[in-house]
Structure 1
Amino acid sequence: MWKVVVTVTGRLRRVEPVCHFAASQRACHPAFQVVHFFRTQLARLWQPAWIVIAACLLGLLTACVSPKPAKVVVRISSPPAQALATSTTSPAMAGPPTATPAPKCGLTELSPGQTISSGCSYTQTETQAAGPMLCRIERNSCAYKNMIVNRDPNIVFSQHKPPPLTDEDAMMHPAMLLPLTRLSDLVTAEWGGEVKLVVTAAYDSILEHDLMQNDPERKYSLHFEGRSIDLVPYPADEAKMARLCGLALTAGFDWIHNEVNHCHASINATSLCSVCSGAAP
């Protein structure tokens, strides 16, 4: 027979055998009661332990089953270097050679024997257009030392005079340099580099010009001041002379004369004779 023990609150506390009513002596034996007591206590103690063990086993199982997080590798690299900007513009196809700028006075060719001034006059004389000759510059004089020797590699200079006069055909008034360089460029543009500009005469110290005058004291030419120049194309071609004289006008010479076998051109500039004498403004 079992005795039910109930607390004041009515909750079931324990169930234990009542020995004096028990039908079986084994149930009321002291040893049985001791074993029953320890079994009951062990059951009460093991219940929380089993919960803890179950929780640990569940956590271990979850850790084993759950996949490992995937590794994400992020590579950070510098952006590719930008190529340096470059220009690779191809040269334009060369068209027919043309002279630039536009022909002065509307003149493209100066006929053989004709003259023209920078004022577009066919009647002005050289003295009127380029100014008078003031002196004949002597070698090694003050005026002589104020001239320049043109070494432009694009122009051919005659060296027909013997030393020490060899460089005279490359010697000229400083104001001659600009129109002569322009003319060289125009010749290249006109004939595409197949024709070179040749200077056959520039400064003249031995009075080779004004051949019609037999009296040396009366010889007159702007070559004697380095303000005139004689030009031809190379290869030699008199058919190109008219065009060469037209280009000389466009290049900036002040007076041009087509002398058939060469083109004579002059500049209007302050005479070096007056510069050295102090008479120049």
Structure 2
Amino acid sequence: MRRKQLSLVNDLQPPIPGKECIANLGLWYGRGKYCIALKCQQVFSHQMTPAPRFGLLAAACTCAWLLVHGCGPGPGYGVRLRPRRLTPLAYKQQVPNVSENNLGASGRAEGKITRHSERFNELVCNYNPDIDFKDEERTKADRFMTKPDSLNNIFLFMCQRCKDCLNKLAIAVMNQWPGVRLRVTEAWDEDNNHPPGSLHYEGRAVDITTSDRDIKKYGLLAQLAVEAGFDWVYYESKYHVHCSVKADHSVAVEKGGCFSASGLVTVAEGVQKPMSHLQPGDSVLALSESGFIIFSRVLLFLHLDAEQRSTFLILSTENGHRLTITPNHLIFMAPNLKLDYHEYYASFASQVRRGAYVLIRGQHGRVRPSKIVSVSQEERIGVYAPLTEHGNLFVDGVLASSYASIEDQRLAHRAFGPLRFLVGLSQLFMAVNPLTVMMQ
């Protein structure tokens, strides 16, 4: 059976030449049996605070990354990609393990949307033929999803978070179970069938099943929803899975993942420095392709805002390390104890659970696993996302990625390959210029 992979986006239009198209270039990225539509725009979704002369290099990376074929450094690089085995959610399990309206999940409700309210224009119909909508009211209300306040960036993809997640999930369902489609039983609600404050009233929540209504599939369906990007997934009932997303204009959606201002890194002098004092050009501890702990140069900051208030997760390990990180930043983890660092993969921090394992600094220049004993959260001021040459770094003693928003370390690292090359080339010229002046 030929798998359908182009129905993910119904609004594709011919590319628009110019820098706008570069900034919004849509890339198809397939891995294993999943086909996920990714926007390079998400890789650069952070506010970039580059070193001098490098502010325009990020746009070049978007076009040039397809030419990069070599494996990048970091955990898992240099070996054949091992398919991740999806673990079905247990009945009544929720991901992340916080309340739906928590800032680390889908966030607070912003008010009910009715057909007569001004915010009704924020809703858009989802006509994806690969999704079955159960229209109990026969009003097509269940096809309404949220769309963003601004339509400035609709060249190839419309920025519709709930719709995008559903469309990705529809593809994953067809690939996982050929002949089976995604089924939506509830979306936007205008009949007060849900409790006050429900995200269904804003088009930010859906209840889903499979088209064959096989309840044995729903645990895995919930995990597929997590992989598709829903901000909160709850195996709520034996007869459906509940999913919801952040508001499209949410700060957490726009800014991506970061570390806190107090996050500590070890610089080349062997001393620890808080993230707020880190500068482009500093060298910090990171992990090489061969698995050795080395110093890696900071090229620039993908996001730096000393005044921004954000919600951070506090991941505490059995060895006393406490990593402060935003939920959608990548961290290398494994659900069970693995001795080989290649077995650790990049995952959103929001998916790390108590009992999972992360990598910390060990002896003889190697990493070793450490068990997560608690996961908590708190709000802090100041967000920082340094990009290193190796695409990873040790923060608060725990190995984390330089990237966020896209749950694929290889894709993100290759996208910035041209940037690393150009920065190195520029620094070479800068080193040669003083010598030329002295010779003259």
Q: TM-score range by the shorter chain?
A: 0.5 to 0.7
CA distance in 1, matches of 2:231, 2:210: 20
Question: 1:268 maps to which residue?
Answer: 246
CA distance in 1, matches of 2:218, 2:90: 9
Quick one: percent identity of the two aligned structures? 31
Question: 1:127 maps to which residue?
Answer: 101
Question: 2:185 maps to which residue?
Answer: 200
Change (3 A) 1:98 1:112: farther
Question: 253, 256, 269: which one pairs with 2:233?
Answer: 256
* CA deviations over 1:130-168 (Å, ceiling 9, x no partner): 011121112132111220011011111111104xxx111
Q: What amino acid is the match of 1:255?
A: W
Question: 173, 183, 206: which one pairs with 1:187?
Answer: 173
Question: 2:287 maps to which residue?
Answer: none
The 8 Å contact of residues 235 and 241 in structure 2, kept in 1 or not, is answered as: yes
**Structure 1: runs of 5+ lacking an equivalent:** 1-90, 211-218, 273-281
Residue 110 (1) aligns with residue 89 (2): yes
Question: 2:146 maps to which residue?
Answer: 173
CA distance in 2, matches of 1:249, 1:107: 10
Q: What amino acid is the match of 1:141?
A: S
Question: 1:220 maps to which residue?
Answer: 197
CA distance in 2, matches of 1:223, 1:206: 10
CA distance in 2, matches of 1:201, 1:257: 14
CA distance in 2, matches of 1:257, 1:115: 4
Question: 214, 229, 243: which one pairs with 2:206?
Answer: 229
State the shift of 1:269 in Å.
1.8
Structure in which a larger fraction of residues adopt strand: 2
Q: What amino acid is the match of 1:114?
A: Q
The 8 Å contact of residues 134 and 271 in structure 1, kept in 2 or not, is answered as: no
Question: 1:153 maps to which residue?
Answer: 129
Matched residue SS, 2:173: helix
CA distance in 1, matches of 2:249, 2:228: 21
Q: What amino acid is the match of 2:228?
A: A
The 8 Å contact of residues 146 and 248 in structure 2, kept in 1 or not, is answered as: no
Matched residue SS, 1:153: coil
- Matched length: 161
State the shift of 1:245 in Å.
0.3
The 8 Å contact of residues 132 and 182 in structure 2, kept in 1 or not, is answered as: yes
After superposition, residues 32-111 of structure 1 pair within 5 angstroms as: 98-99=33-34, 107-111=86-90
State the shift of 1:263 in Å.
0.7
Matched residue SS, 2:185: strand
State the shift of 1:108 in Å.
2.5
Question: 1:142 maps to which residue?
Answer: 118
The 8 Å contact of residues 184 and 206 in structure 2, kept in 1 or not, is answered as: yes
Residue 244 (1) aligns with residue 218 (2): no
Q: What amino acid is the match of 2:142?
A: D
Change (3 A) 1:226 1:250: same
CA distance in 2, matches of 1:108, 1:177: 24
The 8 Å contact of residues 225 and 271 in structure 1, kept in 2 or not, is answered as: no
Q: What amino acid is the match of 2:190?
A: S
The 8 Å contact of residues 148 and 171 in structure 1, kept in 2 or not, is answered as: yes
State the shift of 1:234 in Å.
1.1
Question: 1:214 maps to which residue?
Answer: none
CA distance in 1, matches of 2:107, 2:85: 24
CA distance in 1, matches of 2:245, 2:121: 19
Runs (4+) of structure 1 moved beyond 4 Å?
97-103
The 8 Å contact of residues 101 and 107 in structure 2, kept in 1 or not, is answered as: yes
Structure in which a larger fraction of residues adopt helix: 1
State the shift of 1:100 in Å.
5.7
Q: What amino acid is the match of 1:250?
A: E
* CA deviations over 1:88-138 (Å, ceiling 9, x no partner): xxx99xxxx9446799x9752111111012xxxx2x111111011121112
Decide which structure has the larger Cα Rg and report it. Answer: 1
CA distance in 2, matches of 1:113, 1:225: 24
The 8 Å contact of residues 233 and 243 in structure 2, kept in 1 or not, is answered as: yes
CA distance in 1, matches of 2:235, 2:175: 21
The 8 Å contact of residues 201 and 230 in structure 1, kept in 2 or not, is answered as: yes
CA distance in 1, matches of 2:85, 2:112: 35
Relative to the length of structure 1, the TM-score reads 0.53
